[in-house]
Chains A and B, each alone.
Chain A
Amino acid sequence: MASDVLVLVEHIDSELTDTSYELVGKAKDLAGGWNGEAVALALGSVDTSELAADRVLKMAHPSLDNYTPEAWLEALHAVVQERDPKLVLIANSTVGMDLGAGLSGRWGKPIAAYASAITGEDQDVVVTSQVFGGKLLAEAVIDGGQGVCTVIAGSFPGEAGKGGGATVEDLTPPAALGESRTSFVTTIEPEGGDVDITESPLLVSIGRGIESEDNIELAQEFADAIGAAVSASRPITDAGWLPKTRQVGKSGMKVKPKAYLTFGISGAPEHLEGMRDSDLIVACNIDENAPIFDIAHFGTTTDLFDLLPALTEKVK
């Protein structure tokens, strides 16, 4: 086993994701402790010049240009077999959901998913993972000190992964890439035309606690009164009560408004991932143990059906 930490970087429109830099920064930190290298693996066409890894491995092949789980797993597994890294870091994104457990099964090494912290204790890898909807953290050791870790976005600073200076190596794609049973058809881009919640300095954000589509009006009235846009957590857009473009979180938009006011959002990790960097967070939820209060600056357990009309009234 080598002492390297390998990061699978991700990209959208040939640009690296923020999480890719976060993971490379963490990889440098960990690999330093094990006297190994921080190695970034870039599949398909992407500009990696800003990555501060020790080494960047690039692999190009027609079947890697548009992401498919099968081709990417084939490529990732081939590189892992060849280089035998101590630890493989992948974002807990759609790609990470596909490839983290996929690589664990294929490689025969453990995986710790939903990681928010990773430390080296001598040769041991100790991972802190969010479980049970973020209500608990699990501290786990990867047996044998070698495995895979999928990491929640925003867990580590991205700056440490920036600066460039990596040695770049071009890799030969594995032959099996030509035999994929999965083919890419098309990409569906976000629908335009709706309010852009990433641009709004004030967001009134609603969750399951709003209870019904009709009640959204209460939030809309308050939002209108203060010049805010209405955003939501996943259950609201899944129900079709608001368009998908209003969804904040891992599978929705990442927002960073001056004020993020939540009503009836409990604060699942997937939601927090999309709004934790807001300047001011005020949360309203009747459950005093809701995880949202761990990230909010101010909170209240007042019933939202009393609070929203009171707020609207006072601003008017």
Chain B
Amino acid sequence: MLRRYQALRRLVGPAGLRRPSLAALSLVVALVFVMVAAAFVSERAQGPRVSAPVYPARLVQHVETLTGARGWKQPSAMAVLDERWFVLDTGNDRILELDQAGIVRRVLDRQADKRLALRGPMAIASDDRYLYVANSGTSQVLVLEPGGRVEKVLALEKVEAEDEAPPRPIGLAVTGNGELLVSDADNQRVLRYDGEGRLLQVMGSGKRDGGPGGFNTPAGIALDQAGDIYVVDMLNGRAVQLSADGEFVRQFGRLGDTAGAFSRPKDVAVDSAGNVYVSDGLLAAVQVFSPTGEYLGFIGREDPRDPDSAPLFQAPAGLTISQGRLYVVDRFRGLFVFQLPGQG
């Protein structure tokens, strides 16, 4: 006992720590051990991992994925028309019309109209009269009446170039004067067509491009009330705002997996105040920005006040805003409806 005490005294010394380096090293090693252990023991965070503000959108309805004849399979988008919800049932190559209680009322497929031959359609939009469907597998946009009758089948005119694939439309928006804005995922461009499918404008260089005015797999498109165009630039990890004429204005977000960054953005929507919403398939969240690009928070937790609560989404994709409500189509978990703050 005395020997141990003496050994200890020798270590510490009469004037205090005689071997400061050894003691300090032990302290550092202990600290490192504690930090590493804490990193393993603490729960792996899900989604944006910093203590990001949670955007106060309130979940008001969740239409779950059903199996069977009236169920959808990997739906990618939806549109609202005449107070009915039209869910693009991508995996089944059809459209389901739901009422506001989330009940399927009608199935729109080739039985409704022989020309409604969809192949992996990835986007749907509406104006006050028609539905517009990006028929991604056939390089077409279909214009439908809500009852299912096909009004027009627009074969998208190709941008003249050798060896170029025809446009593969995966994003779609309709402007106030009936023009169609289409994201071409195979040629890294956003194309503007008139109501007959004639090419009016080409935006993007035609190859993967990270600069202003360029795209790397453009996806969802939305318009704000001034007619400005918002395009999700998927593999550049950003959403790009263009003027109504197609000139680059600003970029939202950057590639990353922290708050305000995008990992795999899919679709974009703009509310009546000009706030920009972007869904992210890898962060499993919808992130919100002010009209000037300031990060406002994310949506996607069960408890809208707790960023660590359970995630709502599995693979959020299509976004639609209508009358103060945000509709999020999750490829596996179905349709989520949120009431947006301060709007209706």
Are A and B co-members of a single complex?
no
Interface residues of A (CB under 8 A from B): none
